[in-house]
């Protein structure tokens, strides 16, 4: 029996196939975790903060919770999943969610194989799954506590189930949307293409209605909580379009959008990375209309890949080559492109059926080359990402020093990394954490007495200037309420203040 025949025989056993791809993917993730043990991404701790505070404070009130007002800004589903893990393991540690992501990295590699196998043959699926299993960016981001891995799992499951269980496929795609906001845009483009290609056939109706039904549940919740049923999408786009910038304040959404489009078209037309993005959009439009006319059976992977390429690539490509640090932080956006792109690459090579020998040689040479390239790049990615651990270590050090001045009461801190350390290492209760976000400044109040009342009402004893979010409160307190906050120490840029209770009482009485 030929090597290809033995491979097909081995992979025909679903258990063996799953264990193979799961193990191949898990190995580099374990090694990466061992070499980069600290979760270095600040957003990981913000997601943890939402999950932990929702579990302890928000869920009893049937809502999400955050100190910084971002509880609904990102996807709800990963926060609920992490909260359930914290509850199930009775812990405040970020570790369970990191483990889940690492395991899902192995599952995702298997799902890439299954999509490739079912659509384009065992050999195409094998190489696609293998290449993605070893993709270094996925290995790095699958071992930290971000939402990208879970979102990709739902997206891959959606495409896996697209033909066999279209209703569940729509629900999975909706869960991907509620895990990463960008999937809202991807799914809208994908569903529009599906509806036009399939002419809204009876076999595709369950998919569309499954997505609409699941999305409707979340939209109703957003409407109840915020009055805006599209809250995550609206405010994410508002931020992208420059709504929070000084020259964007108070401008209508459509004005911001048109201005942003004009600026980007002008800027991208003169940059190589911008031309790449514009080219991907043009390719998407061309292939999109071609698929509508042709109505081919194998369109889902191509359509989803192009939708993901158009939505996700501007989020990281534009940082190259001038802003390498920002590029590295945003490279996680390349994961869905790499997953579906690897399938599309080897599906294209699998079409060389007229040349069976040369087609197999092409697939083998491309597959081996990509595996070698992926493995060799770990020597760059692991050291460069390991250096980001310093930021987390600094925040942990600030928390460890701050706790020396803590003797009960409420701690005001806006940096989730510090809050995580205070809770997980020092046992500070969720109810004893507060952010400056909902100070009187949030409600447009300038009266310094109201700030004093805010400190008293919340029993604030420790106030940390750890991020720019503290600046509005500091501007009022430092000028209008001098001596209320007593600086004890500054640790790597974090200023640790204790509240002088006698001074506070004097301001409240006078």
pLDDT tens track for 303-326:
999 999 999 999 999 888 889 999
The reply to whether 361 falls in a domain is yes
How big is the CA angle at 186 (ends 233 and 127), to the nearest 5 degrees?
140
User: How much is the pLDDT for 356?
Assistant: 65
Separation of alpha carbons 486 and 497, rounded Å: 5
Residue 455 and residue 342 in one domain? no
Separation of alpha carbons 242 and 224, rounded Å: 27
Domain boundary among 327, 358, 386: 386
Question: At CB < 8 A and 24+ separation, what contacts does 358-367 make?
Answer: 360/4, 360/123, 363/123, 363/124, 363/127, 366/127, 367/127, 367/130, 367/131
Residue 355 and residue 398 in one domain? no
Residue 321 and residue 456 in one domain? no
Residue 277 and residue 299 in one domain? yes
Q: What is the pLDDT of residues 18-39, one digit of tens each?
A: 999 999 999 999 999 999 999 9
Evaluate if residue 14 carries a pLDDT over 90: yes
Residue 354 and residue 419 in one domain? no
Residue 468 and residue 373 in one domain? no
Q: 286 pLDDT band (50/70/90 cuts)? A: confident
Tell me if 193 sits within 8 A of 288, measured CB to CB.
yes
Handedness of CA 455, 458, 460, 465 (dihedral sign): negative
The reply to whether 64 falls in a domain is no
DSSP state of 246: T
Which is higher by pLDDT, 159 or 509?
159
Separation of alpha carbons 105 and 28, rounded Å: 10
pLDDT mean across residues, the chain: 93
The pTM of the full predicted model, rounded to 2 decimals, is 0.95
Residue 202 and residue 157 in one domain? yes
Tell me if 389 sits within 8 A of 42, measured CB to CB.
no
Residue 435 and residue 499 in one domain? yes
Tell me if 105 sits within 8 A of 29, measured CB to CB.
yes
Tokens of 34: 């061992």
The reply to whether 44 falls in a domain is no
User: How much is the pLDDT for 359?
Assistant: 64
Which domain does 251 fall in, by range? Answer: 3-37+72-386
Residue 276 and residue 416 in one domain? no
Q: What is the pLDDT of residues 210-269, one digit of tens each?
A: 999 999 999 999 999 999 999 999 999 999 999 988 888 778 998 999 999 898 888 888
Residue with tokens 């895990």: 179
The reply to whether 67 falls in a domain is no
Separation of alpha carbons 78 and 65, rounded Å: 14
Residue 141 and residue 271 in one domain? yes
DSSP state of 247: T
Closest CA to 183 of 41, 333, 82: 333
481: three-class secondary structure by DSSP: coil
**β partners of residue 434:** 412
Domain boundary among 386, 406, 431: 386
Closest CA to 179 of 153, 156, 159, 157: 153
The reply to whether 334 falls in a domain is yes
Rounded (10°) CA dihedral 18, 19, 23, 26: 50
The reply to whether 56 falls in a domain is no
Closest CA to 125 of 15, 291, 12: 12
Residues 6 or more apart whose Cβ sits within 8 Å of residue 381:
136, 137, 139, 140
User: How much is the pLDDT for 358?
Assistant: 63
The reply to whether 354 falls in a domain is yes
Separation of alpha carbons 449 and 101, rounded Å: 47
**β partners of residue 496:** 464, 489
Domain boundary among 386, 417, 434: 386
Number of domains in the chain: 2
| Exposed/middle/buried for residue 296 (C-beta within 10 Å: 0-12, 13-18, 19+) | exposed
Evaluate if residue 348 carries a pLDDT over 90: no
Tell me if 395 sits within 8 A of 418, measured CB to CB.
yes
User: How much is the pLDDT for 448?
Assistant: 95
Handedness of CA 245, 251, 253, 255 (dihedral sign): negative
In whole angstroms, how far apart are CA 290 and each of 203, 306, 415? 21, 13, 49
Rounded (10°) CA dihedral 158, 159, 164, 168: 10
Tell me if 483 sits within 8 A of 472, measured CB to CB.
no
Residue 219 and residue 143 in one domain? yes
Residue 311 and residue 360 in one domain? yes
The reply to whether 62 falls in a domain is no
């Amino acid at each position: 029996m030929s090597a290809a025949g033995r491979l097909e025989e081995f992979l025909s056993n679903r258990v063996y196939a799953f264990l193979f791809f799961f193990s191949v993917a898990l190995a580099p993730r374990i090694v990466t975790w061992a070499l980069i043990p600290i979760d270095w991404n600040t957003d990981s701790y913000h997601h943890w903060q939402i999950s932990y505070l929702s579990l302890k404070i928000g869920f009893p009130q049937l809502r999400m919770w955050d100190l910084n007002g971002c509880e609904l800004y990102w996807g709800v589903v990963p926060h609920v999943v992490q909260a359930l893990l914290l509850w199930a393991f009775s812990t405040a540690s970020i570790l369970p969610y990191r483990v889940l992501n690492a395991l899902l990295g192995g599952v995702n590699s298997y799902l890439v194989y299954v999509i490739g196998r079912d659509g384009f043959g065992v050999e195409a699926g094998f190489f696609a799954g293998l290449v993605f299993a070893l993709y270094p960016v996925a290995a790095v981001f699958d071992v930290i506590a971000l939402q990208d891995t879970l979102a990709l799992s739902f997206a891959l499951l959606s495409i896996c189930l697209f033909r066999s269980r279209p209703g569940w496929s729509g629900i999975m795609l909706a869960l991907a949307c509620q895990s990463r906001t960008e999937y809202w845009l991807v799914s809208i483009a994908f569903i529009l293409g599906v509806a036009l290609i399939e002419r809204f056939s009876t076999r595709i109706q369950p998919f569309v209605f499954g997505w609409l039904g699941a999305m409707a549940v979340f939209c109703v919740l957003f409407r109840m909580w915020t009055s805006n049923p599209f809250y995550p999408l609206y405010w994410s786009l508002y931020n992208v379009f420059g709504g929070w910038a000084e020259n964007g304040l108070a401008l209508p959404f459509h004005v911001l959008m048109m201005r942003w489009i004009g600026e980007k078209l002008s800027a991208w037309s003169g940059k190589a990375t911008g031309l790449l993005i514009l080219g991907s959009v043009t390719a998407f439009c061309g292939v999109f209309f071609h698929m509508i006319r042709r109505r081919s059976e194998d369109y889902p992977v191509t359509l989803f890949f192009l939708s993901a390429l158009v939505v996700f690539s501007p989020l990281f490509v534009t940082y190259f080559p001038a802003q390498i640090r920002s590029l590295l932080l945003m490279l996680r956006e390349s994961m869905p492109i790499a997953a579906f792109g690897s399938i599309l690459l080897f599906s294209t090579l699998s079409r060389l059926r007229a040349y069976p020998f040369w087609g197999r040689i092409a697939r083998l040479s491309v597959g081996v080359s990509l595996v070698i390239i992926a493995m060799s790049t770990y020597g760059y990615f692991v050291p460069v990402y390991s250096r980001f651990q310093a930021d987390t270590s600094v925040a942990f050090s600030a928390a460890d020093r701050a706790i020396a001045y803590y003797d009960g009461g409420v701690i005001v801190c806006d940096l989730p990394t510090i809050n995580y350390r205070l809770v997980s290492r020092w046992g500070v209760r969720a109810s004893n954490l507060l952010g400056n976000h909902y100070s009187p400044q949030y409600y447009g109040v300038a009266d310094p007495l109201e700030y004093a009342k805010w400190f008293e009402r919340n029993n604030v004893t420790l106030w940390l200037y750890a991020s720019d979010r503290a600046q509005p409160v500091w501007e009022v307190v430092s000028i209008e309420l001098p001596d209320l906050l007593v600086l004890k120490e500054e640790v790597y840029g974090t200023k640790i203040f204790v509240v002088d209770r006698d001074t506070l009482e004097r301001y409240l009485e006078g």
